[in-house]
Structure 1
């Protein structure tokens, strides 16, 4: 089911083609452009049109009534409620430690002080997918760090579901209620991103930042509206890479590859190993486990796609070169001395160390974030965290004496750039009193 890419005897560099899903955001952007424009121009009328077209239901109210949120929370099965509460608690603990100091003060010279303040974004729109799977876990992954950062206005949007009378999935509503989020919209897809960015009079105030995963049309809308509104990332289909040696448990590896393939037919599952024996054992285990899983057809499509493969390498060093070049959203290290190997990883959205830290743990309740960079973006970007919702603002506070001590250098620098008015703004202060 998984194709084999044999890189033994080959150096891993930019010329090596690694497995990756085809994800043409540019093409999707042209399809999304008229949707975004319609929402900007026609507001709720456009939302109703697109809700009918794409979701096959028009909610009685695009903003979910408060009583529906309370009802969804009250209806939670006790075991699920306990799982949600614990997942929220663990994410809050980790997020609280992500915050660090909110102000840095540096006195460069006497009277020459620069502060860096961390200022939360005022208002954010958090998108929660509801297509192939209602990702209630994405609610807490977006909301908790925003709350810890101090965001004062939080709105959540998720697609309306015909089977729930035009409301988002009840578990999504229940998690919003548990977290105290009262502003929830039954709007999905590109039109939800447009609603957040442009606002809809009488319904939804524009936001400053949009975060959260979604399909290619959500990603295209975020790309199109970047600049008018901040975005977290352009996340593509989910990915898992597993770096494993001969000592890895093939049943564990197979289960983990399947778990991410379950998300989406475009999901990528990649095993990198220097052990042909493990590769064969994993192929066998995958074939057996896929037959027993509920979404077998979706999993088979993902595992047999060009984005998934078993990559054979000469040794662990070559394997590390592959996973660093691939820069997976999720990277598992299932090798001897897994912690030491993990410390050598440069590029990954999140690293899962050893056989007892599967990606599924991070998806729900490890305390880490599961909103992570995809498609190689982990080479330069981080997963969603408290700092996503904070802006660094420098505050410059110099005394007269500190400015005059530096004045000549600033005037010289301004002259070198042929910006004499910049220098004059310093010079005019030379003879002034404090």
Structure 2
């Protein structure tokens, strides 16, 4: 089911030899460009037309009434309501304890020369929650909680309307919005939702400053198209997992975790990196056994058999770490002896799951960490969605006259060296006659 890539004789240059799915955002731009332009021009009328075309339903109200949010929350099964509440609690605690940017005291560079730093939350965010193959209600928590902890005063959510729920988003999504105190919810999906947030729709939805949240290739293309009009969190591609494992790993655990990501999407990537051919064989046997009974077996087999998934055979643990860093997985599991020490050597990943009892599924829901993570190797340079994603950093410069005069000569010389005499003059005019 999983193809093999033999890296045992390779040295470096792993990045472009590792399995990757094809995710052509540029091609999708041609599809979403007219949608985004149409929503920007015709607003709610266009949104409803695209809802009928792509979602097969026209919502009675594009903005979901607060009564529907409360109804969805009231109708939750008690056990599910408890799971939602615990996931919210853990995500909020991690966000509050580990992710909040404080406002440090200003740096005193000389007498009367201070530079401070203020962290200011964005004024308004639009959060997108997918509703395709899997309605990701958990993404409500992962987007809303850090935005709230950051102090964002205005939060709006969009999720596709569902025919089976009368044109409303999935009830779990609505219930979580109510539990989190978000009452601005729109039954809008795809590129039209991104356009609505970016350009606003008169009488319906105000424009936002930042759009966050995962989505399919058309959502990603729309985010690329409106980037610059508004901020975006990232251009996330299909989900992916890499597992660094040795012969101490439990093959059933490894197989189950590879399947858990393959279940998301036929384009999802599942990669096992190991120096143990015996483990690789045992994992393949477990995959066959477990996939046979899986409800989404066809989707899983497509993902595991795709070019984006593989067993990567390496010489030893040192090479496994190098390969994992080159891959920079969205989710990286370490299932080895001394897993904590191995994890400490990893530089590139969206999130690292340490040991046999820290599966990615835990992070998807209730670990307290974020599950909105960089994909397609972006873990080498980008971070997941946290409180910091919703905060802007503003320097505050406060020099008195004496402090400016102390450095005035240097500023004037620097400005003249760049042939910007007006810059120099702005200092010179402040010199006492």
TM-score for the superposition, normalised by structure 2: 0.99
Per-residue CA deviation, residues 179-238 of structure 1 (Å, 9 max, x unaligned), is: 000000000000000000000000000000000000000000000000001000000000
Partner residue, 1:92: 92
Query: Equivalent residues in 2 for 1:223-242 (5 A)?
Result: 223-242=224-243
SS in 2 for 1:235: coil
Matches of 1:12 and 1:223, distance apart in 2: 32
Quote the Cα distance in structure 1 between the aligned partners of 2:105 and 2:221: 37
- Give 1:102 shift: 2.9
Matched residue SS, 1:126: strand
The residue number in structure 2 matching 1:17 is 17
Q: 1:44 to 1:15 in 2, by over 3 A?
A: closer
Matching residue of 1:369: 370
| Corresponding position of 2:306 | 305
Structure 2: unaligned runs, 5 residues or longer? none
For residue 12 of structure 1, report the CA deviation from its aligned partner. 2.7
CA distance in 1, matches of 2:15, 2:166: 51
CA distance in 1, matches of 2:200, 2:16: 45
Residues 222-258 of structure 1: CA deviation (Å, up to 9, x unaligned):
0000000100000000000000011100000000000
The alpha carbon displacement at 1:13 in A equals 1.0
Q: Deviations over 1:351-403 (max 9, x none)?
A: 00000100000000000000000000111100000000000000100011100
Q: Which segment is superposed worse, 296-305 or 14-23? A: 14-23
Equivalent residue, structure 2, for 1:248: 249
**1:103 and 1:118 in contact (8 A); partners too:** no
**1:285: which partner in 2?**
286
Distance, in Å, in 1 between the alignment partners of 2:343 and 2:51 is 45
State the 1:17 CA deviation.
1.1
The two structures, once aligned, show a CA RMSD in angstroms of 0.8
Structure 1 unaligned residues grouped into runs of 5+: none
Alpha-carbon shift at residue 9 of structure 1 (Å): 1.2
Q: Deviations over 1:163-182 (max 9, x none)?
A: 00000000000000000000
* TM-aligned CA distance change 1:225 to 1:278, over 3 Å: same
SS in 2 for 1:271: strand
Partner of 2:75: 75
Flag as ranges the 4+ runs of structure 1 deviating above 2 A: none
Give the Cα separation in 2 of the matches to 1:143 and 1:103. Answer: 25
| Aligned residue number for residue 65 of structure 1 | 65
Aligned equivalents of 1:245, 1:318: Cα separation in 2: 12
Equivalenced residues, count:
432
CA distance in 1: counterparts of 2:116 and 2:348, whole angstroms: 31
Following superposition, the deviation at residue 100 of structure 1 comes to 3.4
Report the Cα offset of residue 16 of structure 1. Answer: 4.7
- The CA distance in 1 between the partners of 2:128 and 2:396, in whole Å, is 33
CA deviation after TM superposition for structure 1 residue 65, in Å: 0.3
C-alpha distance in 2 between matches for 1:20 and 1:28: 18
| Corresponding residue number in structure 2 for 1:53 | 53
What does residue 210 of structure 1 align with?
Answer: 211
TM-score, with normalisation over the residues of structure 1?
0.99
How has the CA–CA distance of structure 1 residues 10 and 237 changed in structure 2, closer, same or farther, with 3 Å as cutoff?
A: same
Q: Secondary structure at the match of 1:191?
A: helix
Shift of 1:293: 1.1
